[in-house]
Structure 1
Amino acid sequence: MSHRPDTLAHAPLGRESAYPDAYDPGLLYPISRTANRAPLGIVEGSLPFVGEDEWHAFEVSWLNGRGKPIVAVARFRLPADSPNLIESKSWKLYLNSFNQTRFADRDEVINTLAQDLAGAAGAPVSVTLFDVDAEALAPKCLPGECLDALDIDVNDYTPSAEHLAVSAQVVEETLYSHLLKSNCPVTGQPDWGSVMIRYKGPKLEREGLLRYLIGYRQHQDFHEHCVEHIFTDLMHHAQPSELLVLARYVRRGGLDISPWRATPGLAPPSPQRLARQ
């Protein structure tokens, strides 16, 4: 696979693109994580977190050896320490290149996906295929307490860590909100999502936390970098001993993206999807 420069100048996102009619791994467009991490003080090779970018693809199809179409849902898990993320439209076009391609069996499809995605990401990518009515895909609810019923005034729609405040009380709790919204850095299209924060440390002032999360409403960035932004702001201003930030974004183009970042040593969240995804 030919790797492209670390730029969006030639990415398919925001451009009119022809849908492929033959398998083509060259459609995948890797983007270096480094440039967006640098302003947050995140240094490659010394990440302050562990995590993954969990993707679900709901438009996966190929032909079996006799030419009969097979459909499935795919779950991909891309490690946060991979050098690259993969631009979402290129991922969609790549998956569509399977539509008229024959494969001997599901194992061949899985192995092909894993090899191509690892080549673009620069690290191994976990691939699981589900039948479209699989119980594992049943919607679930986020654990913890929802912040969305708080009756607050909001006047700031860009991220500001000044809203974050803590008390002297040390707690261990899980909070979530469905009010997360950010915007694509290329097209400006809205990206809707839910965010969960699990932490142990000084108690977060909830109204300030909700104002902070709502502050992403006009922010332009990739899903993965929004989660890393939230993680680094909470670590700096709240200084918890343990922290996990998970965002579950609503699907667009048949793909949803759910990045999570956590302090090393925490167990990863269980793969799942929400009803809104």
Structure 2
Amino acid sequence: MHSAAELSPLGKSSPYIATYTPSLLFAISRVAKWAELGLTAQTLPYHGVDLWNCFELSWLLPSGKPVVAIGEFSIPADSPNIIESKSFKLYLNSLNQTVFASVADLVAVLETDLSAVAGKTVGVRVRSLADVAAEGVMSLPGLCIDELEVNISAYQQPRPELLRCDTTRIVEESLHSHLLKSNCPVTGQPDWGSVLVQYRGAALDHASLLAYLVSFRQHADFHEQCVERIFLDLQRLLEPQHLTVAARYVRRGGLDINPYRSTDPITPENRRLVRQ
């Protein structure tokens, strides 16, 4: 039996369609992956959003002149479906030879189509290259743990048993690493990311966190589920008063995916890192 992802365009040869074709979008239900983590739509222990950035967005003006821009898409973490990334790229490519009278008209079409596939309202912003360039790149807050001396030999699957904390100390801190890597569960291609952990709870051993994050290195899963797994493993260990886990992934196919999961409602800042 094939999984939903294996039935998607991912990993297959696909024709380039340059005129508006919303049927190219392919939904993958979150339910199966939630079930793997012991969750249901009714028991999600986090708030969050998946922020997608598209660097290959283009369409035609009524005059026939093309426009290029950067698209930002906010997909709620509790939406019934994720949008498979290659189908997303193919759909966006189908706008290349399509005429829109205004940016507002384009945004309305994007909101309608993407929300229908995700099963919940998707936020859309279309931004000029000048506006995004003016923001520059950001650095993740807090302490980078990548220079810690650790011995690591576990790479095949996440190893939450590596995590350690000191329950006698309650701390509030932000930690980040650029050493997150996992593999696409369909194509096996590498997904590179930077991860941020912000929490208030039992003091997390930094070296153990680094070893745990590296244990994802050969793990096959989608970006969203990797972040959810990290969130759940840290929540079980730390029993925190507050916890946010976010990852900023390197783009593939002109798209980057940036999942945010938090114990509290959040509106994350969407600014790219140097690798994005």
**Where does residue 117 of structure 1 map in the other structure?**
114
Matches of 2:238 and 2:16, distance apart in 1:
46
**Where does residue 165 of structure 1 map in the other structure?**
164
**Where does residue 155 of structure 1 map in the other structure?**
153
SS at match of 1:9: helix
Matches of 1:142 and 1:154, distance apart in 2:
24
- Report if aligned partners of 1:164, 1:238 keep a CA contact under 8 Å in 2: no
Matched, 1:100 2:72: no
| CA gap 1:137/1:187 in 2 versus in 1, 3 angstroms | farther
| CA gap 1:50/1:105 in 2 versus in 1, 3 angstroms | same
Q: What displacement does 1:137 show?
A: 4.7
Q: What displacement does 1:9 show?
A: 3.2
**Where does residue 181 of structure 1 map in the other structure?**
181
| CA gap 1:6/1:116 in 2 versus in 1, 3 angstroms | farther
Matches of 2:136 and 2:85, distance apart in 1:
24
TM-score normalized by structure 2?
0.96
- Report if aligned partners of 1:249, 1:257 keep a CA contact under 8 Å in 2: yes
Letter paired with 1:255: L
- Report if aligned partners of 1:6, 1:32 keep a CA contact under 8 Å in 2: no
**Where does residue 40 of structure 1 map in the other structure?**
37
Matched, 1:30 2:44: no
Matched, 1:50 2:24: no
**Where does residue 145 of structure 1 map in the other structure?**
143
- Report if aligned partners of 1:137, 1:273 keep a CA contact under 8 Å in 2: no
Query: How large is the Cα RMSD of the aligned pairs?
Result: 1.2
SS at match of 2:107: helix
| CA gap 1:274/1:255 in 2 versus in 1, 3 angstroms | same
Q: What displacement does 1:41 show?
A: 1.1
Identity %: 51
Matches of 2:271 and 2:204, distance apart in 1:
26
Q: What displacement does 1:21 show?
A: 2.1
Matches of 1:40 and 1:9, distance apart in 2:
20
Query: After TM superposition, what 4+ stretches of structure 1 lie above 6 angstroms from structure 2?
Result: none
Q: What displacement does 1:46 show?
A: 2.3
- Report if aligned partners of 1:6, 1:31 keep a CA contact under 8 Å in 2: no
1:121-140 to structure 2, matched below 5 A, reads 121-135=118-132, 137-140=135-138
SS at match of 2:247: strand
1:223-238 to structure 2, matched below 5 A, reads 223-238=223-238
Tell me which moved more, 127-136 or 242-251: 127-136
Matches of 1:93 and 1:52, distance apart in 2:
22
Q: What displacement does 1:251 show?
A: 0.3
Q: What displacement does 1:13 show?
A: 0.2
Matches of 2:45 and 2:233, distance apart in 1:
12
**Where does residue 219 of structure 1 map in the other structure?**
219
Structure 1: runs of 5+ lacking an equivalent = none
Letter paired with 1:251: R
Matches of 1:228 and 1:238, distance apart in 2:
15
- Report if aligned partners of 2:6, 2:186 keep a CA contact under 8 Å in 1: no
**Where does residue 243 of structure 1 map in the other structure?**
243
CA displacement, residues 80-131 of structure 1 (integer Å, 9 cap, x when unaligned): 0100000000000000000000010100000000000000000000000111
Structure 2: runs of 5+ lacking an equivalent = none
Matches of 2:69 and 2:150, distance apart in 1:
43
1:3-14 to structure 2, matched below 5 A, reads 7-14=4-11
Q: What displacement does 1:39 show?
A: 1.5
Matched, 1:74 2:66: no
Matches of 1:268 and 1:201, distance apart in 2:
22
